[in-house]
Every structure is written in C-alpha cells, then in structure tokens.
Structure 1
Amino acid sequence: MQRKTIPLIGAMLAALAAIGLAALVVWNQLSGGSDGVARGDGETLVAPGLEVGGAFELTNHKGETVTQDTFQGQFLLVYFGYSSCPDVCPTELSSMAAAIDILAERDPEAAEKVTPVLITIDPARDTVDVLKDYAPAFHPRLVGLTGSDEAIEAVARKFRVYYGRGQQIDDEFYLMNHSGYVYLMGPDGGFVTMFNGGTAPESIANALQRYVAAAKTS
C-alpha cells in the first residue's frame, strides 16, 4: 500500500507544481516581510524570485482594449472570478469594494490610487454586455476584464491562477473551479502581495493604506 501511495502523492505534487500553486504559497499570515513592510492578517508571501503577473491585453466592461500600461501609476487589486459564481466570487468582490470604501473614509487620496479589477475566468459567458452591469454593481470603480479564451488563459498563467470548468448543474448552467486569491499589483505593474480568500475588508484596507503610504516615501 505504501509503495502505491508515495508515487500517487508525488504525481499530485507534480501536478500542483505545474500550475504554480505548490510554489506560489510559502508562508501564510506572516507578521513581517523581507521588504520591510509589515504584513497584515490574511496576507500571503510567495517564494523568493517567483514572478507573479505580467503583460496582458484584455477588454474592459466598457468595450475598451486595455493593457497593463493602461493602469500605470495605479495599485491594482485583482481578483479572478466569474459573474455566474453563486457565492465565493460575490463575497470576495464585496470585500474588495468594502476595503476601497474603508480606505476612502480614512484617506481619499490613497483610495484613488487603488483600482479594483475583476478578470473573468469564464469569458464564454462573461461578455462585455454582462460585465458592464455586473462590475459596477459591486463598486463604481471596479473594472471588469474579459477577452478571448487564449487571452484569459495567458493572463491566468502569469498570475499562476488555476481555473477550469466544474459541475454541470443543468443543460445550460455550469460552475467554474478556480483559485481564490486577491492580488495587489504595484504602480509599476509588479507584484506586491496577495490576500487569502475570506480576508476581512478591514485587513485589506490596512494593507492598502500601508503600501500606498510606503510608495509615496520610496
């Protein structure tokens, strides 16, 4: 039994490493980081030298083509999800929206430097017409991004996001399986940190406030 179990575990780990999930998460909820910025509850560090994020070309919920350069100078709070998600995605998007509002109450100028973004992992259903109603329902500044299957696959790979078609509920409706981190990208487009799913809006707001303040003094 043991001889069969070990190869099976090895195969599972290899599969995880192939999509970047095994390498992505190293420490959870650390109190401090090597960059000298205090880590808040819910933040996750990644392996040193591991790249997260990169160039992309997608379409926003207004039908405009956008790239990473469109958001230059802005912090991006990025979540990969889909509009037909029954529970997890709405919860995370609501938390992101609440974090932006909390930060706006404390420091309106800092909040203006953060753009919340939803990148769909279900482009077949999440068209521009769908996202133009869905994204603003959570926050007026939330940007919904969609694109071709190839474009979504490419950007998800760069962020090391897992996704795939899940349970078929009926003849027309299906669920999507996907990882659930919220990513914070810096004004230069580089990776800053990421948050575990279910992180409280207050914790996200605290982190945003720290990182925006640190960027002003650097």
Structure 2
Amino acid sequence: MNRRAMIHRFLSVCALLLAPLTLAACGSGGQPAASEQRPPLEGAAIGGPFTLIDKDSKPVTWDSFKGKYRIVYFGYTFCPDACPLDMQQLMKGFAAFERGSADRAAKVQPIFITIDPERDTPQVVGQWTAAFSPRLIGLTGTPAQVAVAAKAFAAYYSKGKESSGGYLMDHSRIAYLMDPDGKPLAMLPVDKGADAVAAELNTWVK
C-alpha cells in the first residue's frame, strides 16, 4: 500500500470513530447502561488475516489467537518516546485489570506488531516486549508481511530520513481491542493512562 492510500485509509477510520461522538452530542438522553452500550468500533473494517513471526522466529497468524480477545498495537522498538510510553500505560492498565479479574484477563492476548522490521528482528522484539510484561507478544516479519498486517488494521507508518543517528518512524498510535472472533470492539485510551485502559477492558471483556 502506498503512503497516500494508507493515509486515506487511516483518515477514513478516524472519521468512523468520531461519528458516534457526533451523534451522541445530538441526543437528548444520558449515557446508556454499560450492559446496553454498543462497542464503539462495531462494524468497522479493522482487522484481518496476516502471517508474521514471533521472538522464536515461528510463524504466527491472526487465527493463532482465535477465541481470545486481542489488544493490537503497531509501533517499533527504536521509538524514543511514544511507543515505550504507550506500552507502559497499556500494560499497567492490563495488569490492573488482571488483578481485579484474573479469569477475564486470561482471555486477553496483548500483541505488539513492529512497523520497522528492518531493525526489529525477532530477538529484538522479544526482548523489548518482555521488558513491559511476559504477557505481551511481539511480532515482526518481512516488510511485505508487516505491510499486510498494517493495512488490515488501518495502521499508518512511514520511514523518516536517514541521519547519523539512524532514522525514526512516523506512525499512528492506536491500541485496538478485538473480540474473540477477531472483530473490533474499542480503542484503549493509552493517552489517558493505565486506569482508563483498565476501565475500558472491564467494560468490554466478558
């Protein structure tokens, strides 16, 4: 997928996510009870088949996680600030949710997918994700395999200019929560902190 098409897909997803907020603002009632809420991403064209490799260089497909809720985040290990911060809040929130509901947390698989396969080898990704949680799985692959996965999840990324210190990657920062059938439920609010992530997991993981 070229950069223009990827940006268009990403903006389309953003528009879809904002639509429910616009509709809610026009309504006259309050917030529905948690049991009556519809998943914010219900019906969104997010998620799809991919084949990547794990820290042991073993093939992993989207169907490998069938039957589990999945948290999916695209980033890269050489990221100087955003990715480490997002992962810290995401996994702290997940840990809090796990402490409050171990049975439900056991049904959830957090997944980190690199958008920088050139540097993020299986070993590098495995060591990086392990620093945040033993529950977090890191996946990499060939540039073509990563592109397929990113396209399926409307994840935008672009390689920056080379410099003496290497290069940076520009990318979207979204943590998707998917249901056991691989369908999108919600975005986890990593930007609002661990407590907000735990609350969102508590709402949608049954």
User: Is the TM-score greater than 0.5?
Assistant: yes
SS of the residue 1:173 aligns to = coil
**Identical positions, percent:** 33
Partner of 2:12: 23
Name the CA shift for 1:139/1:103 in 2 (closer, same or farther; >3 Å).
same
Contact 1:121/1:152 (8 A) holds in 2: yes
Partner of 2:108: 114
Q: In structure 2, how many angstroms separate the alpha carbons of the residues matched to 1:129 and 1:49?
A: 36
Name the CA shift for 1:122/1:32 in 2 (closer, same or farther; >3 Å).
farther
Q: In structure 2, how many angstroms separate the alpha carbons of the residues matched to 1:207 and 1:28?
A: 19
The answer for unaligned runs of 5 or more in structure 2 is 22-30
Residue 111 of structure 1, CA deviation: 1.2
- Normalised to the residue count of structure 2, the TM-score between the two structures is 0.84
Please tell me whether Structure 1 or Structure 2 has the larger radius of gyration of its CA atoms: 1
Q: In structure 1, how many angstroms separate the alpha carbons of the residues matched to 2:7 and 2:167?
A: 25
Partner of 1:5: none
Partner of 2:180: 187
The one of 190, 199, 218 equivalent to 2:192 is: 199
Partner of 2:37: 37
Matches within 5 A, 1:16-95: 19-26=8-15, 27=18, 30=21, 36-37=36-37, 45=40, 49-95=43-89
SS of the residue 2:124 aligns to = helix
Partner of 1:162: 156
Contact 2:189/2:196 (8 A) holds in 1: no
The structure in which a higher percent of residues are strand is: 1
The residue identity in structure 2 corresponding to 1:108 is: A
Partner of 1:150: 144
What are the Cα deviations for residues 128-159 of structure 1, in whole angstroms up to 9, with x where unaligned? 11112111111011000000100101110111
Moved over 3 A (4+): 15-19, 28-33
Residue 37 of structure 1, CA deviation: 2.3
Residue 18 of structure 1, CA deviation: 5.4
The residue identity in structure 2 corresponding to 1:62 is: D
Structure 1 residue 177 corresponds to structure 2 residue 170:
yes
Q: In structure 2, how many angstroms separate the alpha carbons of the residues matched to 1:58 and 1:32?
A: 39
Task: Give me the CA root mean square deviation.
Answer: 2.4
Q: In structure 2, how many angstroms separate the alpha carbons of the residues matched to 1:49 and 1:100?
A: 25
Name the CA shift for 1:67/1:54 in 2 (closer, same or farther; >3 Å).
same
Aligned residues: 191
- Normalised to the residue count of structure 1, the TM-score between the two structures is 0.79
Contact 2:90/2:190 (8 A) holds in 1: no
The residue identity in structure 2 corresponding to 1:124 is: E
